[in-house]
Amino acid sequence: MKEIELNDPYTTPYRGIYAICDRNNEYAEIIEHTNCYGGAAWSKFHYSHSPLILKTRSIGNMIRYTVSIGTSPLELKPSTAAAGIESVIVEGNEVHITYSGLGGGGVGATKCRAFAQGVIRCDYTESGGGRAAKGTITVPKRERVLIGIDDTDTKEEGATWTLTHNVAKELDCSESIYLSHSLVQLFPVSARTQNCVSTVLEFGCVDENAKQELLESVKAALLKYSVSDETGMVVLSDFESGKIKEYAKQCRSAELTREYALQYAKDSGVDVWLDGNGVIGALAALAWFAQPDDSVRLDAQPE
């Protein structure tokens, strides 16, 4: 028998909690990086009943809640709606998120989230047992930064998806959080290396300085490690990527030209950081951020 010692047996801190906001502070995406998926899945079910929640989804061990910014008091009910998000308020460069819950849901609403990485401040009530509890955490307001990349390999060596993930993992930090990685299946053009797949990386950046440092570092890494002369890198800083959906559809159904991709990027406000032939697939990848299960299927449509 192995005897264990638990410093706090009734607290399982989240790995991190992040808030991505739109430019008008009307909507946000609360992204919770969990250390216990079972508990997070319970929260996902119950939180979906909160009036502020517009959409919930899980990607790996991250639960993502798209919410309306504001306040809506909760009517908590054991077993069916036992916990939720009561308010999301933006003040300057900070986002205040208030959770509430009953019993074990109250523990999750308070200490488990209060001790997550990235939390600036917290205020919470006692929780556990049969009590109702409430907790407010303050996290940095972040901007979504999408980086589309393609053509870093050749027929002899390399793989874009592995290089992009390894670069993103090395650049992951509190100022620029690495949130997701999707492989995007494209139309099998004649110039493909093998499978004709591009990649989109998703980051959450706290300010313009963090974003610029991130992008310059990604570009430098691609120039250093890419084995292709045709690497493409494009960047979209926006809450959504709807403006790229039509292009992505075209790129998954026919062979496009580099000139067409560059003009579409310009018209859509997408910044081109590397303009090799890979820009064609890199631009299409932007529409598929945080959709890794569907982006690999040619018959799927981006959200």
User: Mind listing the pLDDT tens digit for each residue in 176-206?
Assistant: 999 999 999 998 766 555 557 899 999 999 9
The domains located in the chain, with CATH, are 16-141 (no CATH), 151-288 (3.30.70.2200)
Q: Where are the beta strands (DSSP E) in 92-242?
A: 94-102, 121-124, 132-150, 176-185, 197-205, 232-237
**pTM for this prediction:** 0.94
Res 52: pLDDT: 97
DSSP secondary structure code for residue 270 in this structure:
P
Pairing of strands 176-185, 132-150: unpaired
154 vs 211: CA distance, rounded Å: 29
User: Mind listing the pLDDT tens digit for each residue in 260-285?
Assistant: 999 999 999 999 999 999 999 999 99
Residue ranges in the chain modelled with pLDDT below 50: none
Res 155: pLDDT: 66
* Helix or strand (DSSP H, E) at 67: strand 62-68
Res 241: pLDDT: 96
Asked whether 129 and 78 are in contact (CB, 8 A), the reply is: no
